[in-house]
Amino acid sequence: MHKQPLFLLCICFILGIFCQDIVAWQISEIYIMLSLSFLLLAMFFIKNFYVYKFRHISLLLLFFSLGVFGHYLKSQKPQLPLLDNKENIIFEIRRKLNSNEKNRKYEVNAWKGEEAFQTVLSVPKSEVEFDFKHFYKAEVFINKTEKPYSDFQFDYGKYLARKDIYFQCYLPGEVKIFEKANLTFAEKIRQKRLELLKKIDVTPLSKQTREFTKGIILADRTEMDKETVQDFSRSGLVHILAISGSHIAIIFWVILLVLNPVFPQKFRNFKIVIALILIWSFAVFINYGNSVVRSCIMITCYYIYILLQRKPDLLHSMALAAFVVLIADTNQLFEVGFQLSFLAVFGIFWLNQPLLRFLPRPKNNFQNFLVNIVTVSISAQIATLPLVLYYFHQYSFISIIANLAIIPFSELLIVFALLMTVITEFSLHFAVLFEIYDFCVTATLKVIHFFAAIDFAFYQLIPMTLLEVVVAFGIVFYLRSALVKLNIKHGVRLLYFILMFISLRILLTYRAGMLEEVLEHQYFKEKIISVKSKEEIRFVLKQKAPQEKVQKYVIEPYLTSRRTKNFKIIVVPDEADSVKINGRNYRFE
């Protein structure tokens, strides 16, 4: 507590949010909890050795209670309007989401009469693209978000509810457009970003390069082709596409480099303040992306220590950043990006220095840069691996090599992409520069595709439960002490958690293998029936069912949850009304 008070208080605040999300205490119980926590603070004023020794517990309990209270306030469901399946609504877009083959998707603010609500809106690509300068009126089909039919399915409804969205709409026809009388400052910024994205679309760059540039600089991957996204995912390099701490740090250092000739050393603080203002301006411009805001907060906290002439502390900066984000919105804790970004930073803090001891001592700055890329990349991957497996159930063992090969070059590419974006914004035309940039991006994407195509190193359908994640983090925690000083004590602790993890996986796999069940699965209007007989699973579906999508959204999640890859697909004629399994008829309608 004496060494890392903010970090420990932040952990308690986070635990309070998690507990409230699981238990859902009532407000009366929360008030009692808060009152007791404040009363226990009296321990700080009691002059008794034994009481004073445990005074910190009262502070930890208080922040736990504050986490519970904060998440209670944020998880209250708003009053929703009564909507029919088909309604005429007026709406404005909030942000564009990732498109699919047929439709564009938007988060929108909508009104039915005087009643306001938020929804995800799907629009055919044949319709005009929406912008922030107009209101729109249209007849739409409306559905309330629903819980998944089984616990192994991704709960998209809960994901949207954390953003106060409880409806999904589809716009099939004509749209009436009305220009807004006045745009707010935020809408003007969003519109300016949208116009810059359209400018990039008309540059002489190839489509892949244009979409890569929009993703890596302006946080817009909405039109990126699925093959490119799949290459980044399979190679373990998807973090390059998300504007995160590394992107903001590079942009921050570029700004400092540009300001170096302007400000002499004695005005160093002015240079830092201007750089901080500019990265926050960048965060505003790209529409406050969650990962961007987190990165900006962390860098700001880190450099505030420098401005105050105090030794920077990575854990303090991380804890302050987490507090700022979670006080504003406790639901951010359940964002995968939030969890992975803070875990990656903690992994670097926890494992980077111990790993450096196993590499040759660098003799110059360039060697130091290369060595740190290796250790930082490995540290971040080790720390985030349990959660990556838990959320995505896939991992490529080639990702460490891919990161070491691509990350140094990607940092230069980020700077190059930033330069090309600025050039595009000011409508400057440097044909040679565009060709060089296009060549660099295309070559990088080809290298990434090469890593993604190495099938023997890529594993998917990896089962991982929350209990296994907790035990795996025990391995990560005790790995540091074993790396710093490998002795019997540290080795036994690490070996204990490794054996516990292996035993747990064997037990869960055996339990899943013994399970026999027949389940009915639903994919839109199609019904799929699964028959599990110990380790073999058969899926029965109609001929008209979209097998590729059924396999991705139904079969693969089910196989992962049942910890097996042994399955067979049985296709029956479309005319079949039912199928007989174990003496019982299961209908397809």
Residue pLDDT, tens place only, 355-413: 998 888 888 877 887 788 889 889 999 999 999 999 999 998 888 888 888 888 888 89
Pick from 74, 95, 123: which residue ends a domain?
A: 74
In a shared domain, residues 382 and 422: yes
The residue ranking higher by pLDDT, 317 or 463, is 463
Q: What is the pTM of this model?
A: 0.90
Q: Give 529's strand partners.
A: 520, 540
> So what's the pLDDT on residue 153?
85
Nearest CA to 345 out of 314, 374, 368, 382 is that of: 314
pLDDT, average across residues 568-581:
90
In a shared domain, residues 12 and 146: no
In a shared domain, residues 62 and 91: no
Distance CA 60, CA 5 (A): 10
Tell whether the model's pLDDT for residue 2 goes beyond 60: no
pLDDT, average across residues 466-489:
94
pLDDT digit string, tens, across residues 289-300: 677 887 888 888
Q: Is residue 234 part of a domain?
A: yes
**Mean pLDDT across the chain, nearest whole number?**
89
Tell whether the model's pLDDT for residue 575 goes beyond 70: yes
pLDDT, average across residues 218-233:
89
Q: How confident is the model at residue 52 (pLDDT cuts 50, 70, 90)?
A: low
Q: Give 530's strand partners.
A: 519, 539
For residue 17 the two structure tokens come to 């949010």
Q: Is residue 535 part of a domain?
A: yes
Distance CA 78, CA 89 (A): 19
In a shared domain, residues 244 and 114: no
For residue 343 the two structure tokens come to 């875990």
Q: Is residue 491 part of a domain?
A: no
Q: Is residue 188 part of a domain?
A: no
Tell whether the model's pLDDT for residue 246 goes beyond 80: no
Q: Give 578's strand partners.
A: 587
Among residues of the chain, what percentage have pLDDT more than 90? 56
Among residues of the chain, what percentage have pLDDT more than 70? 98
Poorest-confidence range of 49-63, 190-204, 443-457, 474-488?
A: 49-63
pLDDT digit string, tens, across residues 274-288: 999 999 998 888 877
For residue 41 the two structure tokens come to 């603070």
Q: Is residue 474 part of a domain?
A: no
Pick from 28, 53, 74: which residue ends a domain?
A: 74
Tell whether the model's pLDDT for residue 90 goes beyond 50: yes
In a shared domain, residues 162 and 218: no
In a shared domain, residues 177 and 201: no
397: DSSP letter: T
Q: Which of 22-36, 145-159, 520-534 has the highest mean pLDDT?
A: 22-36
Pick from 460, 488, 504: which residue ends a domain?
A: 460
In a shared domain, residues 246 and 104: no
For residue 128 the two structure tokens come to 């005009």
CATH of the domain at 143: 2.40.50
In a shared domain, residues 118 and 208: no
Contacts 24+ apart (CB under 8 A), 440-447: 440/413, 440/416, 441/205, 441/208, 441/209, 441/212, 441/213, 441/413, 441/417, 442/206, 442/208, 442/209, 444/406, 444/409, 444/410, 444/413, 445/208, 445/212, 445/228, 445/231, 447/405, 447/406
pLDDT, average across residues 466-486:
94
Count CA atoms closer than 13 A to 164's CA, side-chain side.
17
> In terms of residue numbers, what domain contains 116?
86-182
> So what's the pLDDT on residue 1?
46
In a shared domain, residues 304 and 400: yes
Structural domains of the chain, count: 4
In a shared domain, residues 162 and 221: no
In a shared domain, residues 107 and 211: no
Q: Is residue 492 part of a domain?
A: no
In a shared domain, residues 303 and 362: yes
Q: Is residue 505 part of a domain?
A: no
pLDDT digit string, tens, across residues 123-181: 999 888 999 999 999 999 999 998 887 888 888 999 999 999 999 999 998 899 999 98
pLDDT digit string, tens, across residues 310-341: 877 788 888 888 998 899 899 999 999 889 98
Q: Is residue 511 part of a domain?
A: no
